[in-house]
Amino acid sequence: MAKVVAVTGNEAVANALRQVNPDVCAVYPITPQTEMMQRFASFISNDLVKTEIILVESEHSSLSACVGASAAGGRVITATSSQGLALMFEILFIASGTRLPIVMPVVNRALSAPINIHGDHSDAMSARDAGWIQLWSENGQEAYDNAIQAFRIAEHMDVRLPVMICMDGFIVSHSIERLEYLEDEEVKNFVGEFKQLNPLLDIEHPVSYGPLILTDYYMEFRKAQDEVNTKVPQIVLDVAEDFAKMSGRKYGLFETYRLDDAEIGLVILNSAAGTSKDVIDEFRDKGIKAGLLKPRLYRPFPYREVGEALKHLKAVCVLDRADAFGSSFGPVYLDIATSLYPYKEKPVLINKIYGLGGRDYLPGHAETVLNELVEIAGTGIPGSLKEYIGVRE
Amino acid sequence: MKLKGWKEVTPGCVITEAGSAVQFKTGSWRSLKPVFIEENCIQCLFCWLYCPDMAIKVKDGKRAEFDYDYCKGCGICAVECPGKKGNKAIIMVEEGK
């Protein structure tokens, strides 16, 4: 039986990690993730979980320790935010290139400078091409559910890749919401026993990790890694199906909201999707066919499926809570544009940058954007392709 | 040796075979070559102990020849060699001379 609780997003994910009971957790505190690992550390102190915690001197060290522990043959976790993720950058690629199934909640926070502790997506977006699987979460329930599914995806023998579970800093991490916990036993059975692949501690079968791979083999390893990524979406769906059987909660590669017959639509990640759905309902009440697509599996990005879901619309706005400086558009916009490019008939696509550094995303913002889309759908002509919204002139 | 294709490589570049470094001959990296002068050798086997590449062979407990397939010419053996009466049993000479 599910247990209904009122908890913060951080507490929910800390509980998911407790229920999974990993072997090793190497971690360094950083706002807004700190509360999650503080709670997890208290579970260890109270003997509610058997995980060995390694307190390190930086995030570069925390992920390095995770790489070592994972190669040794353990089920391994860490967690971070913002500058911490940035400091891990070098090791992110080592974890994915070495195919180590490390699971890491990322509590999304703006990057410096200027320094800011609040929720935006510039941290995880900067790491989107680091070879990690990324699952994004609208609220505490999704973060909890994604955290549990992440282990099955990462540890699948056809995958063996690290996974980030992304959730908005403060908006989700520190807000108390009603959500449902699964039973400890259910989670334990769902994730199953950790299966090792080439563990360093198996002294009967000695292996070497991290060899120098030069011109004669580097491309073969990269091609193999790319190929693994193509298998991930189906495995994410299979795991989601098993999860739905246990929990009753359904997940896909992305969520669509009133999108099937829509003429205009929003594409938006994480917590702001909730606000947008309310405004879409208001537009529907007025007889305007509006819909929404919220990516969940953002890396590897399911281009084909997303393109199929959006191609029939007349006008779409991609809202990015991060800018990709120098590429002219926000990161999600670039992926959606790529998804739609192969189609002859496709929606006009515009980009809005919103909510940076935790700036509130209000229903009025969604309303303004949807009104603009109504106009574009009518004329077929966009105004500006990219704009910041909710910013003072 | 036939090179493997991308479908045949191990996940994460892990080498699952013990002692496979023997297949990778590093002798061609050498620019300085150690030469053994047997009459100056006191059989201390310091060179065998210090060699980072196991490129000094020992036969029946006695110093044998260098394994030039793997010796990179680092010169540690020549530095560590105490020699006999001030004369080294290992000297480094330029390759090709």
Residue B86 in domain: yes
Q: Looking at residues A36-50, what average pLDDT do you find? A: 98
pLDDT in tens, B48-64: 999 999 999 999 999 99
Residue A357 has pLDDT above 70, yes or no: yes
When CB atoms are compared, the residue of B7, B16, B20 closest to A198 is B16
Cis? peptide before A300, omega within 30° of 0: yes
pLDDT (0 to 100) of residue B33: 97
Interface mutation vs chain B, best among A132, A207, A228, most B CBs within 10 Å: A207
Residue B6 in domain: no
Q: How confident is the model at residue A114 (pLDDT cuts 50, 70, 90)?
A: very high
Domain count, chain B: 1
Over pLDDT 70: what percentage of chain A?
A: 100
Residue B4 in domain: no
* Residue A75 DSSP SS3: coil
pLDDT in tens, A230-257: 999 999 999 999 999 999 999 999 999 9
Residue B19 has pLDDT above 90, yes or no: no
User: Alpha-carbon distance A43 to A27, whole Å?
Assistant: 15
Q: Class of the A254-388 domain?
A: alpha beta
Q: What's the one-letter identity of residue A251?
A: Y
Measured between CB atoms, does A244 come within 8 Å of chain B? no
* Chain A hits for B5, Cβ within 8 Å: 220
pLDDT in tens, A181-200: 999 999 999 999 999 999 99
pLDDT (0 to 100) of residue A172: 98
User: Alpha-carbon distance A26 to B34, whole Å?
Assistant: 46
- Any idea which residue has 């926000």 for tokens? A330
CB–CB of A205 and B6 under 8 A? no
- Any idea which residue has 């320790």 for tokens? A65
CB–CB of B15 and A98 under 8 A? no
* Chain A hits for B11, Cβ within 8 Å: 99, 160, 197-198, 224, 228
| Range list for CATH 3.40.50.970 in chain A | 3-247
CB–CB of B6 and A224 under 8 A? yes
| A residues 135..164 contacting B (CB < 8 A) | 160
CB–CB of A160 and B6 under 8 A? no
Measured between CB atoms, does B9 come within 8 Å of chain A? yes
Measured between CB atoms, does B18 come within 8 Å of chain A? yes
Question: Could you give the count of Cα atoms lying within 13 Å of B53 in the half-sphere of its Cβ?
Answer: 22
Average pLDDT score, chain A: 97
pLDDT (0 to 100) of residue A207: 96
Measured between CB atoms, does B6 come within 8 Å of chain A? yes
Q: Is A3-247 assigned to CATH 3.40.50.970?
A: yes
C-alpha A93: how far from chain center: 17
Indicate the burial class of A204 (C-beta count within 10 angstroms; 0-12, 13-18, 19 or more). Answer: exposed
pLDDT in tens, A273-291: 999 999 999 999 999 999 9
CATH number of the domain at B74, please.
3.30.70.20
Structural domain boundaries, residue B70: 23-94
Q: Kindly give the residue spans of alpha helices, DSSP state H, lying in chain A.
A: 9-20, 34-45, 59-72, 82-87, 89-97, 122-126, 140-155, 184-191, 218-247, 272-285, 303-310, 331-340, 363-379
User: Alpha-carbon distance A120 to A358, whole Å?
Assistant: 6
Measured between CB atoms, does B13 come within 8 Å of chain A? yes
pLDDT (0 to 100) of residue A1: 62
**Strand order across the A264-268 sheet:** A254-257, A290-295, A264-268, A315-320, A348-353, A386-388
| Range list for CATH 3.40.50.920 in chain A | 254-388
Residue B70 in domain: yes
Measured between CB atoms, does A194 come within 8 Å of chain B? no
pLDDT in tens, A123-181: 999 999 999 999 999 999 999 999 999 999 999 999 999 999 999 999 999 999 999 99
Indicate the burial class of A137 (C-beta count within 10 angstroms; 0-12, 13-18, 19 or more). Answer: buried
When CB atoms are compared, the residue of A209, A210, A223 closest to B6 is A223
User: Alpha-carbon distance A85 to A106, whole Å?
Assistant: 8
Q: Looking at residues B19-46, what average pLDDT do you find? A: 94
The alpha-carbon gap from B9 to the nearest alpha carbon of chain A, in Å, equals: 7
* Residue A85 DSSP SS3: helix
Measured between CB atoms, does B1 come within 8 Å of chain A? no
CB–CB of B14 and A198 under 8 A? yes
User: Alpha-carbon distance B22 to A390, whole Å?
Assistant: 64
Phi and psi at residue B77, to the nearest 5° = -60, -40
Q: Are A255 and A182 in contact (CB under 8 A)?
A: no
Residue B9 in domain: no
Q: Is the pTM of this model over 0.90?
A: yes
In terms of residues, how long is chain B? 97
Residue B63 in domain: yes
Sign of the alpha-carbon torsion through A132, A133, A135, A136: positive
Residue A258 has pLDDT above 80, yes or no: yes
- Report the complex ipTM: 0.89
Measured between CB atoms, does A195 come within 8 Å of chain B? no
Residue B97 has pLDDT above 80, yes or no: no
| Minimal-distance CA residue of chain A relative to B17 | A207
Residue B76 in domain: yes
Q: How many CB pairs under 8 A join A and B?
A: 50
CB–CB of B14 and A208 under 8 A? yes
Residue A46 has pLDDT above 80, yes or no: yes
Residue B1 has pLDDT above 90, yes or no: no
